[in-house]
Amino acid sequence: MVTAASVVVAVGAATGMITALEDRDGTDEARPSVTNSPSLDPAPVVPPSPPASPTPAERGRLSGSPVPKASARPTATAPAAGRTRAPAASGRLYRNPSSQVLDWVRANPGDPRASVIRSRIAEQPAAVWFTDSRRDTIASRVRAVTSGAAAQGRVPVLVVYAIPERDCGGASEGGAPDLDSYDAWIDGFAAGLGSGEVIVVLEPDSIAQSECLSADGRAARFASLARAGRVLKSANPRARVYYDAGHSGWHAASKQAALLRQAGAASAASSDGIFSNVSNFHRTADEIVYDRAVLDALGGPAGLGAVIDTSRNGAGAPPDGEWCDPDGRKLGRTPTLSTGEARIDAYLWVKLPGESDGCKGEPGQFSPSYAYDLASS
Catalytic residues: 167, 205, 357
CA geometry: angle 229, 277, 113, nearest 5 deg: 120
- Dist. CA 94–CA 128, nearest whole Å: 10
**If you ran DSSP here, which 8-state letter would residue 19 be given?**
P
Q: Return phi, psi of residue 140, to 5°.
A: -70, -35
Name the 3-class secondary structure at 92: strand
Sign of the Cα pseudo-torsion (100, 102, 103, 107, in order): positive
**If you ran DSSP here, which 8-state letter would residue 162 be given?**
-
Query: 289-305 as b/e, with b when 16 or more CB fall inside 10 Å?
Result: ebbbbbbebbebeeebb
Residue 309: in which H helix or E strand, if any? strand 305-309
Residue 57: in which H helix or E strand, if any? helix 56-60
**Chain centroid to CA 311: how far?**
12
State the CB neighbour count (10 A cutoff) for residue 338.
Answer: 10
